[in-house]
């Protein structure tokens, strides 16, 4: 049984539809990478899964439970935890306070083992615990954002373009961390626009374009360099690689 199973999900904003009958499954322990260009609907899909954006139609099951109508708190309680695009942290709160907010929202305490894992994973945060998150670098803020999600003890971690705006060296470090998170057995739904590092950790890929899943399959299919010209899925992302 899939951990997450979305069937025929449609949604939008006001009268504007942005997703058309999206089918998507994430298996236990798997990393599914959703690729797609700007405006494809990747964030909207993530919001629909975490429950922030209601689905207009379709159904969503998590661990065999129908969560189509469940609110975001209930979904978070079941283990669907999203890291928002743009690594949002509370700038005036310290790193420690940012992490504690996650536990407050989930109404439980992170286990000592989780805390230890997180500070090993993001070692630089150890010496920054008392520093206001707004003073950290972009890479460090991304660590805080992911650490906060891990404190909520996810079963499905949704990462929305985590590498956006990070220098290549930081992206490498970030992806090492994502790999280690996956190795602990957490399923990951990874949204990216640039494919390089993402395809090294992914098990499976789904391509979203203009609100529809247009391709998908095991990652091997997408590692073919002909498909990955220019770091984008050129065959699909029409326009980006023209000429």
Backbone angles phi, psi at 217, to 5 degrees: 150, -175
| H or E, element range at 119 | helix 112-121
Nearer to ligand ATP, 38 or 225 (CB): 38
Residue 40 beta carbon to ligand ATP: minimum distance, rounded to whole angstroms = 4
Q: Coil, strand, or helix at residue 68?
A: coil
Tell me how many residues contact ligand ATP (CB under 6 A): 12
Q: From ligand ATP, Mg ion, none, which one binds at residue 38 (CB under 5 to 8 Å depending on kind)?
A: ligand ATP
The answer to whether 78 touches 155, Cβ cutoff 8 Å, is yes
Nearer to ligand ATP, 135 or 230 (CB): 230
- Is position 13 an interface residue for ligand ATP (rule: CB under 6 A)? yes
Q: What's the token pair of residue 172?
A: 């490498």
Residue 30 beta carbon to ligand ATP: minimum distance, rounded to whole angstroms = 21
Q: From Mg ion, ligand ATP, none, which one binds at residue 95 (CB under 5 to 8 Å depending on kind)?
A: none
| H or E, element range at 99 | helix 95-106
- Is position 43 an interface residue for Mg ion (rule: CB under 5 A)? yes
Q: From Mg ion, ligand ATP, none, which one binds at residue 163 (CB under 5 to 8 Å depending on kind)?
A: none
DSSP 134-180: GGS-HHHHHHHHHHHHHHT--SEEEEESTTTT--HHHHHHHHHHHHH
Q: Exactly one of 44, 68, 142, 187 binds ligand ATP (CB under 6 A); which one? A: 44
Q: What is the CA radius of gyration of the chain?
A: 17
Residues 22 to 41 in contact with Mg ion, rule: CB under 5 A: none
Residues paired with 218 in a beta bridge: 204
The interface mask with ligand ATP, positions 140-179, x = CB under 6 A, is: ----------------------------------------
Nearer to ligand ATP, 85 or 241 (CB): 85
Strand intervals (E) in the chain: 4-13, 16-26, 31-35, 57-62, 65-66, 80-83, 156-160, 187-192, 204-209, 212-218
- Is position 38 an interface residue for ligand ATP (rule: CB under 6 A)? yes
How far is Cα 192 from Cα 114, in angstroms, rounded to an integer?
A: 26
Point out which span in 32-40, 97-105, 132-140, 178-186 binds ligand ATP (CB under 6 A): 32-40
- Is position 82 an interface residue for Mg ion (rule: CB under 5 A)? no
- Is position 39 an interface residue for ligand ATP (rule: CB under 6 A)? yes
Binding residues for ligand ATP, per CB under 6 A? 13, 18, 36, 38-44, 85, 193
């Amino acid at each position: 049984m899939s951990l997450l199973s979305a069937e025929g999900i449609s949604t939008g904003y006001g009268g504007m539809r942005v997703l058309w009958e999206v089918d998507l499954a994430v298996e236990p322990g798997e990393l599914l990478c959703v690729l797609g260009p700007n405006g494809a609907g990747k964030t909207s899909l993530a919001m629909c899964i975490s429950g922030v954006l209601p689905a207009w139609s379709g159904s969503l099951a998590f661990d065999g439970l129908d969560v189509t109508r469940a609110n975001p708190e209930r979904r978070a309680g079941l283990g669907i935890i999203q890291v928002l695009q743009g690594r949002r942290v509370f700038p005036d709160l310290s790193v420690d306070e940012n992490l504690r907010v996650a536990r407050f929202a989930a109404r439980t305490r992170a286990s000592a083992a989780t805390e230890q894992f997180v500070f090993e994973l993001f070692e630089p945060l150890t010496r920054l615990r008392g520093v206001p998150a707004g003073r950290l670098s972009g890479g460090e803020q991304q660590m805080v954002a992911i650490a906060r999600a891990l404190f909520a003890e996810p079963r499905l971690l949704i990462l929305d373009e985590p590498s956006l705006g990070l220098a290549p060296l930081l992206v490498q470090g970030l992806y090492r961390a994502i790999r280690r998170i996956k190795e602990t057995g957490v399923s990951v739904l990874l949204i990216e626009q640039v494919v390089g590092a993402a395809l090294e950790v992914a098990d499976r890929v789904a391509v979203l374009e203009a609100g529809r899943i247009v391709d998908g399959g095991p990652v091997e299919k997408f590692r073919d360099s002909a498909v990955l010209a220019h770091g984008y899925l050129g065959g699909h992302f029409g326009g980006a690689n023209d000429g």
